[in-house]
Structure 1
Amino acid sequence: MPDLATQILERIPEGIAVDRASLAVDANYDSVGRVLSTLVKQRKLVRVGRGFYKKAVSRNSVSTGTIEERIERKISKSRRNVFMRENFKDFGSYDAVGRALKKKTESGRLIQISKGIYAKAEYSRITGKPAPLVGIKTLASEALGLLGYKVSASSPEKNYNQGRSTQVPTGRTLAVNKAPRRRIGYDGKYVVFERAR
């Protein structure tokens, strides 16, 4: 019978992330964990998420630039304002991508608007701090769309547009089909969610 490391490597196809729980190998949980850690250290596997692993890219297929540079190219070419951490999972291991995203936020190129969600940013001439390129409502709508929520006009917006109210909406209230379990915003400014009617 092949050793545990060989069994694990045989069960992970090239280019596909595999859940640790789906590895049908003849060993207990702790033994599998130790071997997975060893394979990551040996650069035979990369950890791409909690409990998910895939085979490391061969050194012969050299990646063009560092992870940080690849992230920069992706966000520069995209028309989107919002990105999820998983959009960059093919650029390296889970931890390496996390470090690269941290550097991008420290440099002011990205700003984190929720756990695992980032927005394009640039330094504001007024505050001198990094700020998103678009307003918080646009960011939140885009982020919620990526998360699978349906966004519609809030009741203050509807009332204002239909002439039932003269109060101009703040633009920070969004109507969604179900209440998200996360906050979306930055620098102490967050959107408010209401149930869509």
Structure 2
Amino acid sequence: MIINTEIQVLTKIKKARGGSLFFVEDFLRFGNYKTISKALERLVEKEEISRVARGIYARLEKDPILGPVKPGTEAIAKAIAKRDKARIVPTGALALNTFGLSTQVPMNVVYLTDGAARKINVGKRTIVFKKTSPKNLAAIGEISSLAIQALKELGKDNVTESQKRIILKYLKKEDSYRLEHDTKLAPEWIRVIMREALTNMTKHGK
């Protein structure tokens, strides 16, 4: 029975593109939780798939030079959020890193969420989901949401002109409707910066 389940699981995995992430729940039509878990562990032993964290598996992407490439923490966090039907927003330190405003790569990658609070160990790093109020997750633009968190992390009186220019450069890539929506959710001092980005969009006809 386990061999048949293993074949069904592997067949589904092989249809997915490299880098795809999988959970036990993705295969429950082929058997119960325990049976699927065993099938996945056997596939890990055979090196058909890789275990990236507890209960999370991947069909690794293969780079011609580097060989198998493990999925990053962002991809894992997004996959967990999708599975749990939860919203997530990177916190300030992670947002700063994404914008290149900090060279520090945080060992604890922290996301705000309306899903369950938890920690996921991924190698030497940890993905932390912190429960927050719906208000902090109301932004609909990926870039504008990051900008709000990055600016909050920097603080009102600490944002330099250079940092502001970098954030404005990223904000111009945001969809104008999403940016306008998210501007209303930000503290007033952050709204001033976001309105500047909106004004620049209008000038350039975006």
Q: TM-score, normalised by structure 1?
A: 0.50
Task: Name the structure with the higher helix share.
Answer: 2
Larger Rg: 1
